[in-house]
Amino acid sequence: MGRLSYLDKEKVAPEAKQIFESLEKAIGRVPNVFKAMAHAPVFFQKFMEFSGATRSTKLDPKLRELAYLKTSQVNGCNY
Is 79 a domain residue?
no
- Residue 2 above 80 pLDDT? no
More confident residue, 3 or 36: 36
- pLDDT of 17-69, one tens digit each? 999 999 999 999 999 999 999 999 999 999 999 999 988 889 899 999 999 99
CB distance 12 to 38 below 8 Å = yes
> What CATH number does residue 43 fall under?
1.20.5
Classify residue 76 as left (phi > 0), alpha (psi -120 to 50) or beta: left
Is 4 a domain residue?
no
Task: State residue 1's pLDDT score.
Answer: 53
Is 62 a domain residue?
yes
Domain enclosing residue 40, as ranges = 9-74
Q: Please give the Cα distance from 30 to 57 (Å, whole number).
A: 24
The structural domain count of the chain equals 1
